Amino acid sequence: MTRSNSVAGGSGFLGEVAQRSLSRRSLLRWGTLAGAGAVLAPAVTACVAPSAPGGGATGSSTLTLGLNRSLVSLDNKLNQFDAAVTVQRAVRQALTEIGDDLKPRNVLAESFELTSPTQWTVKLRDDIKYSDGTSVAVEDVAKALEMYSQVNGSFLAPQFPEWPTVNKKDELTFTLDTKVPLPVLNTLMSNILITPAAANKPEELQEGVGTGPYKVSSADRGTGTYKLVINENYWGEKPSVNEINVRFMSEESSRVVALRSGEVDVIDSITPDSVAQLKTVDGIEIESVTGTRYNQLFYNFRKPADSPMSDPKVREALSYGFDSKSVVDGILGGTVTSAKGVVPQTLAGAVETGEYKYDPAKAKSMLADLGVSNLAVKVIWETGEFAADVSIMEALVEMMKEIGVTAELQQFEPGGDISSWRQGKAGDWDILGNGYGNQTGLALTNLQGMYAGTAEKEATRDTYHGFVFPEISSKIITATSETDQDKSTELLTSVQKDIWAKWPCMWAFIPNAVLARRSRVEGLKLRPTNSYQVSAVKVNG
């Protein structure tokens, strides 16, 4: 489903609605704008109660998760939004994982060592088996890398400057060889989930077996509903929760009501007003940590050369017309940080390159000096890409109107064809509401995945929305292979300034990772990557 909008209201629109929201402190600050008003009253009056038999979380052996976006697969080749990671890695695992300290640690690998500048030597654990009882083999790692590299439009492929080659030494030992040094390979491999070679394909896997603590009992991609049960062949400590039910609930108000009533145990991606309301409810706890996700209003870099949007000065001018402070304070309640660079400041290697400033007079002056008038832009995004998405986009329309720019909104429902639009294979657009999750803790991951586009990658639409600048990609690739820390830091600092000068975003922000849980859910430790180890969770009562 798509949605086009052009909202009237002038400069007073944002302030008027924000003031109304602040005064009534509703469950959802902008719920009426998103069409959620009909369920606000039950959310305010509902009480926490034990789950009813046969519905939702029933007893201590069952955990029910309410996700804001549809989990279309239990594989991450294309789909790795933050909350999905929790569920995907309950079924499939990688050689390494990123821990609470944002540093890599071994999982399926017993050891993972750099043995030469272009070679890592890996030894698999000898006690790991898949849920079907078969052993993990070196060939499975090789096949996984091959399949990830062949996926068209992969989220992960751009993060690898080159794909390592697997060379088997014995039944458990192999090397990962590259043409140039790749000192962060142990971190990058945390995103390559391992599946039996015979069952792996260059596409998202809906079912299949894995080495994780849970296995798939039932799956419905269409509704985003999954049922996981304990993997009896799990090589690690057995989880205490016997069954996990995953539900897709796109409306935040519905997720809040379901949590309050005990229908679900954990919900994610909630707005400040929901947090404020839930904090007052007995039996519900809020988890929040500084996040690593980079949410953006990203420009389309596939525009033709004669388009005004291909001019960085025009992109800069539009950014001056966006009142990010009002959005941060009035819509998002101060729960996000406006970006001061091209990657989150929470990542190792990030540097400050500038700030997004609101100056509508300057925006209009710049556009006039550039000879740009009657500019119209199309803004697209997928529902649930970030909290309060509809409210932010409707505010954007009014802000652009103040500087003489017409903005049209097109909203895609989860499971729609926005991927084709992002890749430039469907309709045209100018600004994309998008988020880039970081599961490594490294700025280099974002830089490689978002800004290191090449002509070769663009030919298969494997760049980040057409962002292709050879001088920038060259610096990033050089930094990726640089083993001298000082030289790498110098390169990373320089290239981040170069990227900022291109004005890739109208605005970008880093949200806190926030979720709400029922108090009976214990052991849930939310990571900066907005995921958690579900096998450590316990449910009491």
pLDDT tens-digit readout, 134-145: 999 999 999 999
Where residue 81 falls among pLDDT bands split at 50, 70, 90? low
Contacts of 365 (CB under 8 A, 6+ apart): none
Instruction: Indicate the pTM of the whole model.
Output: 0.78
Q: Please check the confidence at residue 46 and state whether its pLDDT lies above 70.
A: no
Q: How crowded is the C-beta side of 150, counted as CA atoms within 13 Å?
A: 11
Closest CA to 190 of 260, 259, 92: 92
SS3 state of residue 434: strand
pLDDT tens-digit readout, 247-279: 999 889 999 999 999 999 999 888 888 999 999
Q: Which residues pair with 382 in a beta bridge?
A: 412
Angle at the Cα of 522 (from 518 to 525), degrees rounded to 5?
A: 105
Specify whether the CB–CB gap between 210 and 223 falls below 8 A. no
Using CA atoms, how far residue 61 sits from 25, 229, 430, 452, 537, in Å, is 36, 10, 48, 46, 11
Q: Residue range 106-110: average pLDDT?
A: 98
Number of Cβ within 10 Å of residue 131's Cβ equals 22
386-395, 411-420, 522-531: the lowest-pLDDT one:
411-420
CA 508, distance to chain mean position in Å, is 14
Specify whether the CB–CB gap between 30 and 17 falls below 8 A. yes
d(Cα 127, Cα 313) in Å, to the nearest integer?
Answer: 58
Q: At what angle do helices 312-320 and 360-369 cross, to 10 degrees?
A: 150
Angle at the Cα of 256 (from 250 to 258), degrees rounded to 5?
A: 90
Give me the DSSP letters along 90-105. Answer: HH---SEEE-TTS-EE
Q: Please check the confidence at residue 23 and state whether its pLDDT lies above 60.
A: no
Q: At what angle do helices 389-402 and 12-24 cross, to 10 degrees?
A: 150
Confidence at residue 125, expressed as pLDDT on a 0 to 100 scale: 97
Confidence at residue 329, expressed as pLDDT on a 0 to 100 scale: 94
SS3 state of residue 308: helix
Closest CA to 392 of 352, 465, 338, 355: 338
d(Cα 188, Cα 156) in Å, to the nearest integer?
Answer: 9
Round the average pLDDT of the chain to a whole number and report it.
87
Contacts of 351 (CB under 8 A, 6+ apart): 341, 492, 493, 496, 497
pLDDT tens-digit readout, 379-409: 999 988 888 999 999 999 999 999 999 999 9
d(Cα 456, Cα 383) in Å, to the nearest integer?
Answer: 31
- 326 DSSP 8-state letter: H
Where residue 424 falls among pLDDT bands split at 50, 70, 90? confident
Rg, C-alpha atoms of the chain: 23
C-alpha dihedral sign at 414, 416, 421, 427: negative
Length of the chain: 541
* Of residues 28 and 466, more confidently modeled: 466
Q: Which residues pair with 411 in a beta bridge?
A: 381
Confidence at residue 137, expressed as pLDDT on a 0 to 100 scale: 97
**Alpha helices, H only, 4-156:** 12-24, 40-45, 82-91, 138-150
Q: Residue range 92-116: average pLDDT?
A: 94
Contacts of 484 (CB under 8 A, 6+ apart): none
